[in-house]
Amino acid sequence: MTYVQQPPTAVYVHIPFCTNKCHYCDFNSYVLKGQPVADYLDALERELELTVRMLPPPVIETIFVGGGTPTVLSPEQMERFLHILHMYFPHKDEGVEFTMEANPGTTDPDKLAVMRQGGVNRLSFGVQSFDGALLERIGRIHSTDDVYLSLGNARKAGFRNLSIDLMFGLPEQTMDHLERSLDCALELDLQHYSIYGLKVEENTLFHALYQKDQLPLPEEEVEARMFDRIMERLERAGYRQYEISNFARPGFESRHNSMYWRNRSYYGIGAGAHGYASQTRHVNIKGVQAYIDATRKGLPRLETHPVTREEAMEDFMMVGLRLLDGIRRSDFEEQFGEPIEARFGEILDRLSEKGLLESTDKGYRLAKEAVPLANVVFGEFIGWLTDK
């Protein structure tokens, strides 16, 4: 028995170029200098053409351009890139959420004007901290002045949906550092904030330092207090925590990321991009030149993985519970044609008895006290069906 997966209405496009590689970053990104950007844009067009030919899109609802740092493209390159996207995913409708990631210092007025003209209506800036010493410690090359200038330029260009990323649990970060960054962030009165704890990933400078015991991270207890303080301050400032790491003014929740959390299908375009459609997940070839070369022969796939009905059910539970509103019984039945309790009743009852989940009129959600323990809850669903 299969399951229902609607055609993708969300598009993710990866621009893998950066001005420099941050010390914690394990994303598929490469320093811009010397890279074949024009050839890469040609390759994106080839992949888009093949993708749309094989899986024609219905009405597109969201587009998200990530990286890397998409805004390292010059105004001319940005204009060409956005033109290519329009060719294959027309999105003149103002109802489309079109997000582009940006780094402070890479968004001058000319580039922002091109982006607005090209349909971009939401910007997500990688700020991470408002402490200059911490920024240098983690390998960021922007300053706090760059943050204010970039956000000011964005507002002047007409952007009314702005988000920033902040990080906690950074090397040598204290509660005072965090409080000052939150002060500065909230003074900006933005529509959206994403808050992430540092993860030391393999193949990063931080991982090498960690292995040598040269990475002075806050104690786990301090990191937990940081997260508690973040939730407290943002809620007090009027932001709703709609997902574990994301806070928004009403109506400014990320619609694109919510596609992932609702386990909806999406196109994944570009070097190293992930996609999910036709009950199959894929990962594209990661290297820039290797990706370019592969698009001359067909779709640039590194891996494809058919998703079984049981895997899709487990994914539905794990990603859906990231949303603070939780998972909906109606969504589960729409995709899988049976009640959620028929498959997960035992584990839902057990986690509810432990105070980690709570039942709602529509489905199930994390208990408020369980938000810091979310990964423990998600882990309970891994293999729950596929191992039986």
User: What fold, for 309-379?
Assistant: Arc Repressor Mutant, subunit A (1.10.10)
Q: How many CB atoms lie within 10 A of CB 376?
A: 12
Give the number of other CB atoms < 10 A from CB of residue 215: 18
Helices (H), the chain: 37-54, 75-88, 109-117, 132-137, 144-156, 175-187, 205-211, 220-236, 255-261, 288-295, 309-320, 329-336, 340-353, 374-379
Q: What token pair was written down for 240?
A: 């709703």
What is the reported pTM? 0.96
Task: Write the pLDDT tens digit of every residue in 163-182.
Answer: 999 999 999 999 999 999 99
Q: What pLDDT score does 307 carry?
A: 96
The secondary structure of 173-195 as a DSSP string is --HHHHHHHHHHHHHT--SEEEE
Instruction: Select from 109, 108, 110, 138 the least CA-distant residue to 126.
Output: 138
Same fold, 10-261 and 309-379: no
d(CA 284, CA 268): 8
Q: Residue 227: is its pLDDT beyond 90? A: yes
> How deeply is 237 buried, as exposed, middle or buried, from its count of CB atoms within 10 A (0-12, 13-18, 19+)?
middle
Closest CA to 163 of 134, 132, 196: 196
Superfamily of domain 10-261: Aldolase class I (3.20.20.70)
Q: Which pLDDT band, with edges at 50, 70 and 90, does 93 fall under? A: low
Tell me how far CA of residue 226 lies from CA of 234, 236, 319, in angstroms. 12, 15, 24
User: Which pLDDT band holds residue 113 (cuts at 50, 70, 90)?
Assistant: very high
Q: Average pLDDT, whole number, for the chain?
A: 95
Q: What's residue 57's pLDDT?
A: 84
In tens, the pLDDT along 28-50 reads 999 999 999 999 999 999 999 99
Peptide bond into 68 cis (omega under 30): yes
**To the nearest whole percent, how much of the chain has pLDDT over 90?**
96
* pLDDT attached to residue 94: 72
The gap from C-alpha 31 to its chain's centroid, in whole angstroms, comes to 21
> Average of pLDDT values for 261-271?
97
Residue 349: which residues within 8 A CB-CB, separation 6 or more? none
Residue 1 has pLDDT above 70, yes or no: no
Would you kindly state where each structural domain of the chain is located, as residue ranges? 10-261, 309-379
Which residue in the block uniquely carries the two structure tokens 């709609």?
242
Contact 205, 23 (CB under 8 A): yes
Average pLDDT of 343-359?
Answer: 97
